[in-house]
Structure 1
Amino acid sequence: MSERDSDGDGDRSSDADVLVLRRGTHGVPVEQYAAAIRERLPGQTVQLARTPAEEREAIRGAEYVTGMTLEEDLLEAAENLEVFACAYAGTGHLPMDRLEERGVTVTNASGVHGPNIGEHVLGAILHFTRRFHVAERRQRRREWRHYQAHELQGSTVTIVGLGAIGRSVAERLEPFGVDTIGVRYTPEKGGPTDDVIGFEGDAFHDALARTDYLVLACPLTETTRGLVDREAFVTIDPEAVLVNVARGPVVDTDALVEALRGNQIRGASLDVTDPEPLPEDHPLWNFGNVQITPHNAGHTPRYYDRLADIVAENARRFGEAGSDADLENQVNFSS
């Protein structure tokens, strides 16, 4: 086998141990992802399909495939597919019903974003605690005038979602002397927060009533869609701050705009919005107490490295045990 074939880029055949699809993420070339997997699998072939034609050809015989997405027509061309290693934590964009029918095992990138999104949330909280947005406005005006700030210590932070990201947020808040409330579907499982509650009954609104910082780090489901609505904004303390790194529709956008206009909350840090991208004429752009980042909390220069750790380890396990392999981050189709 030639050197070009051994690294997989020139091999149009479908006998590679790992096939990497061509779509990248966060503006980072997908070649870096393929290279990170190769570095971790020196004894296996890793093929990167760089064109639609190469994808269609290579996936016909591929058993282990990784990528950001998998279109249905490409799935139908995959005659021998056994594992699809999704390069995102969420899998709602995949044809999950068809993958389940085909008996394809799906894994995700859960845990890859924990450190960077945890840091993003902490930065957003400190931004509003010390009111850096006020300082920025006065700096632009060359205005040396003191303003009142807040103190994080002694505050209550409610974290909705205790997956890898929610846990990462809780861990980073621990040194700040705050009280934490975690919200999850199965509160009996506990978590790294001082209190853990569920979504049922009045528990969530009771938590809102004593919350200073509300962090949304949950998946978008029927339960969480519109979770933070008009009733929530009436319940929450007017000095509270909302931080959303989950999905835009977890918050009722019209209710959020009303709450900001009515001084029902102190501010909001939004990495995700509904709609997304946020239209240029949307009123959320114009609030001085709203921090908007363009779905950027997930960016980290270590994304492909962390992802490759999971994907390469699973490829090793699959190579050893085949369909009986115990894979990390395996997605439960029934959940």
Structure 2
Amino acid sequence: MAMKRAATSAIRAFSSSSPSSPGSSGSSTRFLHASAESKKIVGVFYKANEYASLNPNFVGSLEGALGIRGWLESQGHQYIVTDDKEGLDSELEKHIPDLHVLITTPFHPAYVTEERIKRAKNLKLLLTAGIGSDHIDLKAAAAAGLTVAEVTGSNVVSVAEDELMRILILVRNFLPGYHQVINGEWNVAAIAYRAYDLEGKTVGTVGAGRIGKLLLQRLKPFNCNLLYHDRIKMEPELEKQTGAKFEEDLDSMLSKCDIVVINTPLTEKTRGMFDKERIAKMKKGVLIVNNARGAIMDTQAVVDACSSGQIGGYSGDVWNPQPAPKDHPWRYMPNHAMTPHISGTTIDGQLRYAAGVKDMLDRYFKGEEFPAQNYIVKEGKLASQYL
């Protein structure tokens, strides 16, 4: 209950926080030309169905609609939500020509292509309820003068905790034991022959941004050997606190790791970066956790490596594409612990990213700037992590 009260307080505080100073009205970006006129806002969220009524704070679903319907409609805005997002006959497509704001999520992504951007003549603002805007053609958005923003930091705790859980699930060979129980079996040897302690293992994170740093802090008590690879080094104080060592060369770090965690955004540079050749350079039996983006991995290379034993276990909640089709090969490869994209959409995370969306919409209506770290595309320029 304490967590629930704290999260509820956070959304209230976030949505009522004082705005930053407004931008110059002389800018050519559409964002700064916001007016007090009624806006058409479309949100694309996953459908909760029978689960919608089981938690009043389940705001990240279609039914919850981020908890902002009453607030928007009281100000005269039109708010439409849907889970139907694919194809020319979809509900989303019907609203593309005249919507002003599109809210999407990484958990049920509406892919905003260059073609959709061209058809969206009134579109000014693309908001991601969560973190990760790679479902948007960012170059096309920049060329069109759109503003793209996300709720930076809203689910970093949620994802870091989930990564720690997945590491332990793989190290301890947990899932086969669980499956034995529900299948009425009892075979300790079938689990124990590949179950280990986390203590003493070498864990490396590819990317040490907000999530990567939180993960390293949470791994510190397990007495692991911690490594990280990133474009820039962490602050000396945080390195000292976690005991994590910087590895400038990615492949050199990977060859040392018993466990690798992917914490880098999906960009043109990182797309498919874990291919057959790179995976072959890693320790045989390496465990991999990926809550970043599925397309960072070569899909078939992961399947082949799990089948051969080069990868001893693979766990994550991101797929390419999303939602994953029923015949996606990761569903059927050995030694995996995959889930739907759930790590960043805990109830606490939902309250945080709902509050962040409300805050940015409020600022947009007033013609004010967003918090600087939330911008992914601003004034025709992409954020550094997407370059």
Work out whether the TM-score is over 0.5.
yes
Please list the CA deviations of residues 1-49 of structure 1 after superposition, one character each: whole Å capped at 9, or x if unmatched. Answer: xxxxxxxxxxxxx834x7541321374544523424867x999666413
Partner amino acid for 1:145? V
For residues 208 and 95 of structure 1, the distance between their equivalents in structure 2, rounded to whole angstroms, comes to 31
1:122 corresponds to 2:164: yes
* Residues 38 and 261 (structure 1), Cα distance of their counterparts in 2 relative to 1, 3 Å cut: same
Residue correspondence of structure 1 range 1-150 to structure 2 within 5 A: 15-16=37-38, 20-25=41-46, 27=48, 28-30=60-62, 32-36=64-68, 47-50=78-81, 55=95, 59=99, 65-68=101-104, 71-72=116-117, 75-78=120-123, 81=124, 83-139=125-181, 140-146=183-189, 147-148=192-193, 149-150=195-196
Question: In structure 2, what is the Cα distance between the partners aligned to 1:254 and 1:271?
Answer: 17
- CA apart distance, 1:154: 1.8
1:326 Cα deviation after fit:
5.0
Instruction: Map 1:282-297; keep pairs closer than 5 Å.
Output: 282=329, 285-287=332-334, 289-297=335-343
Q: Could you say if the C-alpha distance between residues 75 and 165 of structure 1 is closer, same or farther in structure 2, counting changes exceeding 3 Å? A: farther
Number of the residue aligned with 1:10:
none
> Is the partner of 2:148 in helix, strand or coil?
strand
Tell me if the contact between 1:119 and 1:169 (Cα under 8 Å) persists in the aligned partners: yes
SS in 2 for 1:266: strand
Q: Deviations over 1:255-278 (max 9, x none)?
A: 323322332232111423456625
**Residues 102/32 of structure 1: CA separation in 2 closer, same or farther (3 Å cut):** same
Say if 2:271 is the partner of 1:228.
no
| Aligned pairs, number | 308
Distance 1:22 1:266, change over 3 A: closer
1:300 alignment counterpart: 346
Deviations 1:151-191 (A, max 9, x none): 11122211112233323322332322222222222337676
- Contact preservation (8 Å) 1:37, 1:309: no
Question: Equivalent residue of 1:107, what SS?
Answer: strand
Higher mean C-alpha displacement, 146-155 vs 97-106: 97-106
* Equivalent of residue 245 in structure 2, options 195, 212, 219: 195
8 Å CA contact 2:265–2:293 kept in 1: the answer is: yes
Q: What's the secondary structure of 1:214's corresponding residue?
A: strand
Deviation at 1:77, TM superposition (A): 2.7
Residue 43 of structure 2: SS of its match in structure 1? Answer: coil
| Aligned pairs for 1:127-276 within 5 A | 127-139=169-181, 140-146=183-189, 147-148=192-193, 149-187=195-233, 194-198=244-248, 203-274=249-320
Question: Using the alignment, how far apart are the partners of 1:269 and 1:279 within structure 2?
Answer: 18
Identical aligned pairs, as a percentage?
24
Greater RCO (Cα-Cα under 8 Å, separation 6 or more):
2
Query: Which stretches in structure 1 are left out of the alignment for 5+ residues?
Result: 1-13
Gaps of 5+ in 2: 1-35, 49-59, 82-90, 105-109
**Alpha-carbon distance in 2 for matches of 1:171, 1:155:** 15
Counterpart in 2 of 1:5?
none
User: What's the TM-score once normalised by structure 1's chain length?
Assistant: 0.76
Kindly indicate whether the alpha-carbon contact (under 8 Å) linking 1:317 and 1:325 is maintained by their aligned counterparts in 2: yes
Shift in CA distance, 57/145, structure 1 to aligned 2, threshold 3 Å: closer
Contact 1:215–1:244 at 8 Å: present in 2 too? yes
Distance in structure 2 (CA, Å) of the matches to 1:29 and 1:283: 26
- Distance in 2 of aligned mates of 1:222 and 1:53: 27
